[in-house]
Amino acid sequence: MVYYARWKIILVLCVVVLSALYAAPNLIPQDKLDKWAQGLPSWMPLHKISLGLDLQGGSHLLLGVEVKAVVNEYLDGVADSARSDLRKADIGYSNLATKDGVLSFDVRDEAQAAAARDAVASIDQNLVVTLDGATVSAQLSEKAYKDRATSAVAQSIEIIRRRIDESGTREPLIQQQGIDRVLVQLPGVGNPEHIKRLLGQTAKLGFHLVNETANPRGGSVPAGFRVMPAAPNNLKGPPLYVVSRRPVVSGDTLTDAQPSFDQQSGRPVVNFKFDSIGARRFGDVTRDNIGHQLAIVLDDKVVSAPVIQSAITGGSGVISGSFSVQEANDLALLLRAGALPAPLTVLEERTVGPGLGADSIAAGEIASGIGLAVVVVFMVLSYGRFGVYANIALVANIVMLLAALSLLGATLTLPGIAGIVLTMGMAVDANVLIFERIREEYKGGRGVVGSIDAGFNRAIGTITDSNLTTLIAAALLYGLGSGSVRGFAVTLAIGILTSMFSAIMITRLVIVFWVRSARPKIINL
């Protein structure tokens, strides 16, 4: 026992010193740290533990991408092709519709059903087409569906990032979760309503021709047209329009959009610019339809439907409506950032204002400080000199825990702080087991050195057993937990590992130094 391998001593000291170095930045204010960090290599211990949104304040949004909408839109395109192909092949059909990712129609003459199936199947090889009696149904193959989902989510993330960046939010975290979910974390955003509004619109812009003669309430609409409602800020026009089913110019040909003011009325408007293809199409369409209305449609709602006075060949235009300044700004932002491939829904929101975050940090600091003090006092009262040694190991344990959290770039949450406080109580458990065993051995008649030796050796098995069961729980909590609870699992698991090291290796080292230097004759435990 008095012998403690030199390499072990060096190892323990190295670990403690390195931990202290890596934990130290957490005590230094960020601005000073930034100053020092300039010109230093990145491996230098300058990382701080990052605070979770529940501590620094901010908004956590879990968004669902409605992949179904993308698929339905694609099937609408297939339906258009099918209509013309079937007409060409002289196949009569009825009830052609897309619903829940399936396109289906009935063939009038059952003898033509197989031909109809083949016609639809030839539109796209990714379609799985089945025939049931005279009913043909087509849907995307599983692989094609997944591909579309993947690209829709990737594209959504890109658009979400652009919209959030344009809104001026700093350091957002945007990442995919699972197959069709996107996690958005917005540090410092205490009221995410504006962001939610920006993300809540697909912002699909299109220019449609208006059929002024058809009656939108008449029930039947001419082929190639459909009824669309007016947008809420379209106060001048009628509530319903009959517009072309497909846009004559689509919004993805826009290159820029800026909020502005109408020169005559002084009202907020949005100016937009087309790319060269869009400009040419827009020029052609306006030239051919002078005197007719052109509907500006955003997300299947008509924002305005001005009458075309002359051909617009400059490649730019204006959207006017009853916008507030904020609405014009937002619309311009949305048009610049581009349309989402599918609607997003907020599945989960957790927002913490800066006030509560600061209160939580303060509460955590007080609870940790008092928790540490109580344990330290209790250990000294219960185990005297040995308690002091356990406390040295406890402090080293906290330093190692903080260092590990900084090094791993872990996020500290409020439950994470609870994990640290709890770890303090659990860390000294190992020392309690060791000290009680030493005491037992000493009372049983062993010498000082023999008792200490036996105490450590015999207790280690028990310590490992009891800590591993807690580690199992922590691992599952990490694997299946979410958000702030994960922060608890991380601090608990790291705390258990560091406490096993500190309670066994560090306490032992300190006791070895004591035994060597003081050569005690008795153990006062």
| Segment 137 to 176, residues that bind other proteins, using CB under 8 A | none
Q: Is residue 299 within the footprint of other proteins (CB under 8 A)?
A: no
Cα four-point dihedral sign 154, 155, 160, 162: positive
Q: Give the one residue of 375, 399, 494, 509 binding other proteins; rule: CB under 8 A.
A: 375
**Rounded to the nearest 5°, which phi and psi values hold at 102?**
-130, 130
CB atoms within 10 A of CB 171: 9
Rank residues 52 and 237 by Cβ distance to other proteins and give the closer one: 52
Least CB distance to other proteins at residue 370 (A):
5
Site for other proteins in 343-362 (CB under 8 A): 345-353, 355-356, 359-360
Q: Where in 186-245 is the site for other proteins (CB under 8 A)?
A: 190-191, 193, 196, 200
- Total residues binding other proteins (CB under 8 A): 82
Q: 136 Cβ partners below 8 Å, 6+ apart?
A: 104, 105, 106, 107, 113, 116, 117, 120, 129, 130
Q: Which residues have a Cβ under 8 Å from the Cβ of 15 and sit 6 or more positions away?
A: 400, 501
Q: Scanning residues 27 to 86, which ones bind other proteins (CB under 8 A)?
A: 54, 62, 64
Residue whose CB is less far from other proteins, 3 or 43: 3
Tokens coding 74: 């694609």
Tell me how far apart the alpha carbons of residues 189 and 480 are, in angstroms, rounded to a whole number: 27
Residue type, 506: I
Q: From CA 482, how far away is CA 52, in angstroms rounded?
A: 12
CA distance 410 to 491: 9
Which tokens hold the place of 525?
């435990």
Q: Which CB sits closer to other proteins, 325 or 480? A: 480
Q: If DSSP codes are grouped into helix, strand and coil, which group holds residue 350?
A: strand
Alpha helix (H) residue ranges in 185-302: 193-199, 276-288
Establish if 410 lies at the interface with other proteins (CB under 8 A). Answer: no
Buried b (16+ CB within 10 A) or exposed e, 70-108: bbbebbeebbeebeebbeeeebebeeeebeebbbbbbbe
Nearest to residue 507, comparing CAs of 392, 374, 372?
392
Pair 496, 463: CB distance under 8 Å? no
Position 466 contacts other proteins (CB under 8 A): yes
Cβ 193 to other proteins shortest distance, Å: 7
- Residue among 130, 276, 326, 482 that touches other proteins (CB under 8 A): 482
Contact status: 23 vs other proteins (CB under 8 A): no
Q: Which stretch binds other proteins (CB under 8 A): 104-112, 158-166, 334-342, 482-490?
A: 482-490
Candidate segments 30-38, 128-136, 270-278, 478-486, binder of other proteins by CB under 8 A: 478-486
- The residue range among 139-147, 207-215, 326-334, 431-439 that interacts with other proteins, by the rule CB under 8 A, is 431-439
**Which of 149, 71, 150, 67 is CA-nearest to residue 345?**
67
Report the nearest approach of other proteins to the CB of residue 63 (Å): 10
Taking the complex as a whole, how short is the minimal distance between the CB of residue 424 and other proteins, in angstroms? 5
Out of 238, 409, 480, 516, the only residue in the binding site for other proteins (CB under 8 A) is 480
**Stretch of 89-97, 206-214, 235-243, 384-392 contacting other proteins, by CB under 8 A:** 384-392
Instruction: Specify the stretch interacting with other proteins by CB under 8 A; choose among 10-18, 304-312, 314-322, 476-484.
Output: 476-484
Q: Which of 145, 488, 506, 509 binds other proteins (CB under 8 A)?
A: 488
Smallest gap from Cβ 429 to other proteins, in A, equals: 4
CA distance 286 to 412: 58
**Nearest residue (CB) to other proteins, 32 versus 194:** 194
Stretch that binds other proteins, among 144-152, 259-267, 279-287, 480-488 (CB under 8 A): 480-488
Enumerate residues 178-197 that contact other proteins by CB under 8 A.
190-191, 193, 196
| 347 phi/psi in degrees, rounded to 5 | -90, -30
The identity of residue 87, as a single letter, is: R
Q: Which of 69, 367, 395, 407 binds other proteins (CB under 8 A)?
A: 367
Distance CA 14, CA 161 (A): 43
CB of 217 to other proteins, least distance (A): 27
**Between 30 and 482, CB nearer to other proteins:** 482
